[in-house]
Amino acid sequence: MGTYSEIFEQPHCLCCLLENQRSAVEQVAKEIKKRDIRFAFLAARGTSDNAGRYANYLLGGVNGLPIALATPSLFTYYQTPPNLQDALVIGISQSGQSPDIVSVIAEGRRQKCLTLAITNDPDSPLAKQSDLVLPLMTGPELGVAATKTYTAELMVLAMLSVALSGEASAWDEVAKVPQWTESVLKNEDYLRNSALRYRYMDQCVVLGRGFNYSTAYEWALKLKEMTYISAEPYSSADFMHGPIAIVHGGFPVLSVAVGGKVLISMRDTLKQIKDDLNGELMIISDQKEVLDMAVTPVVLPSGIPEWLSPLVTIIPGQLFAYHLTCIKGFDPDQPRAIHKVTETR
């Protein structure tokens, strides 16, 4: 048991959430609707922070609920927490142990805000400080680099969004996510062979935009944690405002470009990288026009709604990072200098 097996557990974990947590999520949504909630204030670190980036687009774009991402140091070192009146205060943490995230929830309760914990440990300090708890239900995650708990966090957020919207048809779309994740896992041999091409890569950029801004950050994090590559994530829009200057002939640019509102923007950026700067593109997409630009195209199943795509797009990124780690001769289950539970203050 470890990172490899946990990557392949993800379709089952997502099924379990759909089968066992829908009523709990709907109850949480009901409690939120009872309050005069004007915005959500979300605290997280590491991988969970990337789930927060997804929530920023999801709850903001689908549910009209603005998200403010917390600055935990204001609650701990500076002891100057902002006014959270009318906020839903959310803490996302796989372990629920990090004192700085717990401190944000505790302050939310002190200010009489509704508080919600999304965590894999319903008995954790984070859960105990929260009014509402949504467990991830993945079982123990032994791999230091989070995989199944990340997609579980995204699934809980997607389910919460649907419950808040009241759109019954959206539940049918969410129900298809496990089969889409199962499908992309069948690309393992291709991703393993593709990783051979990048065995000497020591730096790259990872691009995404919109809902998959979160995927760019999480894919880059997996590469940093396991392969020790300097992988820098960017919105494709931010990348055009200066950082694109680092691209030169053969420079690796990894990207996620799925069908949806930001596809044209992503396509134009990737075309400039390829045609004008001769960058080398690895692209995860369901769109032939962008896949044709890639040296390493990673094909997604068709029909995935853009708002759910981050639950699927990260899985090829996880597999690629895992196999690249092995090819480089590192242990994906024992990355240096990091631990499963990191308790920052």
User: What contacts 195, CB < 8 A, 6 or more positions away?
Assistant: 320, 323, 324, 327
What's the pLDDT score for residue 199? 97
Burial zone of 122 (CB within 10 Å; 0-12 exposed, 13-18 middle, 19+ buried) = middle
What's the pLDDT score for residue 314? 98
User: What contacts 20, CB < 8 A, 6 or more positions away?
Assistant: 137
The answer to whether 3-175 and 182-327 have equal CATH topology is: yes
What's the pLDDT score for residue 344? 74
What's the pLDDT score for residue 341? 67
Residue whose C-alpha is closest to residue 174's, from 6, 22, 282: 22
Burial 211-232 (b: 16+ CB within 10 A, else e): bbbbbbbbbbbbbbbbbebebb
Tell me the CATH number for domain 3-175: 3.40.50.10490
Q: Which CATH architecture has domain 182-327?
A: 3-Layer(aba) Sandwich (3.40)
Residue whose C-alpha is closest to residue 26's, from 138, 181, 213, 159: 159
What's the pLDDT score for residue 46? 94
Domain locations along the chain: 3-175, 182-327
Which tokens is 22 given?
A: 């829908």
* pTM over the 0.95 mark: yes
Print pLDDT tens along the chain (345 aa). 699 999 999 999 999 999 999 999 999 999 999 999 999 999 999 999 999 999 999 999 999 999 999 999 999 999 999 999 999 999 999 999 999 999 999 999 999 999 999 999 999 999 999 999 999 999 999 998 999 999 999 999 999 999 999 999 999 999 999 999 999 999 999 999 999 999 999 999 999 999 999 999 999 999 999 999 999 999 999 999 999 999 999 999 999 999 999 999 999 999 999 999 999 999 999 999 999 999 999 999 999 999 999 999 999 999 999 999 999 999 999 898 777 567 676
3-state secondary structure the chain: CCHHHHHHCHHHHHHHHHHHCHHHHHHHHHHHHHCCCCEEEEECCHHHHHHHHHHHHHHHHCCCCCEEECCHHHCCCCCCCCCCCCEEEEEEECCCCCHHHHHHHHHHHHCCCEEEEEECCCCCHHHHHCCEEEECCCCCCCCCCCCHHHHHHHHHHHHHHHHHHCCHHHHHHHCCHHHHHHHHHCCHHHHHHHHHHCCCCCEEEEEECHHHHHHHHHHHHHHHHHHCCEEEEEEHHHHHCCHHHHCCCCCEEEEECCCCCCHHHHHHHHHHHHHCCCCEEEEEECCHHHHCCCCEEEECCCCCCHHHCHHHHHHHHHHHHHHHHHHCCCCCCCCCCCCCCCCCC
Distance of CA 9 to the CA centre of its chain: 17
